[in-house]
Structures are given as structure tokens and as C-alpha cells.
């Protein structure tokens, strides 16, 4: 996990949270941690890398590219609290 101002992002792979990589062969199993409720299982298309992105207002998003992150393009997973 890397902090960027008030936001944070974590790259998700087929194996674990926090390791950069791609998910070419199988669905992602997102490991629950303090700001997520339960377990999300998210199938990704071949070679597509998505990232978990948390904004300062406590929302958690899937986004295909952190560098071009847009809330309207992301998928809202949960609101912390």
C-alpha cells in the first residue's frame, strides 16, 4: 500500500493484495482487510489489470488504471464506516 496525499491504492493480482502484476488466467480473490467488508470475487478478462483505489472520503473503487483514475469509470465497492 502506498499513500498518495489522502488517497491510497493497492494493486491486486491473482495471488495477493499489494503485489503489482496481471491476472491473465483466473479470477481475483480480494483478501478482506480493515476497510473492506467481506470478500469480493471479481473475474477479470485476460491480461487486464485493475487496481483497488481508496479515496479520502472513505470510498473504495475498482479502477482499470490508477494514473487515469476517474470515479465515474470506477466501480464503487464499499463505503467505509
Instruction: Please tell me the total count of domains within the chain.
Output: 1
Give the pLDDT confidence score for residue 48 in this predicted structure. Answer: 44
Give the pLDDT confidence score for residue 63 in this predicted structure. Answer: 57
Query: If phi over 0 gives left and psi between -120 and 50 gives alpha, with beta otherwise, what is residue 41?
Result: beta
Q: Are 54 and 35 in contact (CB under 8 A)?
A: yes
Could you list the residue range(s) of the whole structural domain that residue 13 is in?
Answer: 2-79
Give the pLDDT confidence score for residue 6 in this predicted structure. Answer: 36
What confidence category does residue 81 fall into, taking pLDDT thresholds of 50, 70 and 90? very low
Give the pLDDT confidence score for residue 54 in this predicted structure. Answer: 58
How confident is the model over 21-78, as pLDDT tens digits? 433 333 344 433 444 443 344 444 433 455 565 555 656 665 555 444 444 444 555 4
Amino acid at each position: 500500500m502506498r499513500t498518495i496525499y489522502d488517497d491510497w491504492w493497492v494493486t491486486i493480482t491473482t495471488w495477493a493484495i499489494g503485489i503489482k502484476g496481471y491476472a491473465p488466467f483466473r479470477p481475483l480473490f480480494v483478501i478482506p482487510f480493515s476497510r473492506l467488508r467481506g470478500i469480493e470475487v471479481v473475474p477479470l478478462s485476460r491480461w487486464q489489470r485493475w487496481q483497488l483505489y481508496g479515496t479520502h472520503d472513505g470510498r473504495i473503487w475498482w479502477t482499470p488504471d490508477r494514473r487515469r483514475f476517474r470515479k465515474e469509470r470506477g466501480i464503487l465497492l464499499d463505503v467505509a464506516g
